[in-house]
Amino acid sequence: MKELPKIRPVLRTKNRGGAPKGNRNASKTGLHTNESRARRAAVRLRVQRARQAIACALAAAAREIREMREI
């Protein structure tokens, strides 16, 4: 009887999505530009400082209320 040839499985790579490697045009515009990243960092810093100021004001108001009740 004749022996059948061995068949190798076909290796398939999964598409990772996004631009192909080495595509310099993909990162020049949009969400990932240095300008956009800097703008988002500045907004994050302002929001963080605003939250800290609000927390400080609330703590001061609570302290005043507590002092008024003690009198």
pLDDT digits (tens, 9 = 90+) for 25-57: 666 667 778 888 999 999 999 999 999 999 999
User: Distances from the Cα of 16 to the Cαs of 19, 21, 29, in angstroms?
Assistant: 9, 10, 20
- The pLDDT, as a whole number, for residue 5 is 73
CA gyration radius, the chain: 30
Domain ranges for the chain: 35-70
pLDDT at 65 over 80: yes
If one counts every other C-beta atom within 10 angstroms of the C-beta of residue 26, the result is 13
pLDDT tens-digit series, residues 6-26: 777 777 777 666 666 776 666
pTM of the model: 0.54
- Assess contact for 18 and 26: CB atoms under 8 A: yes
Contact 61, 54 (CB under 8 A): no
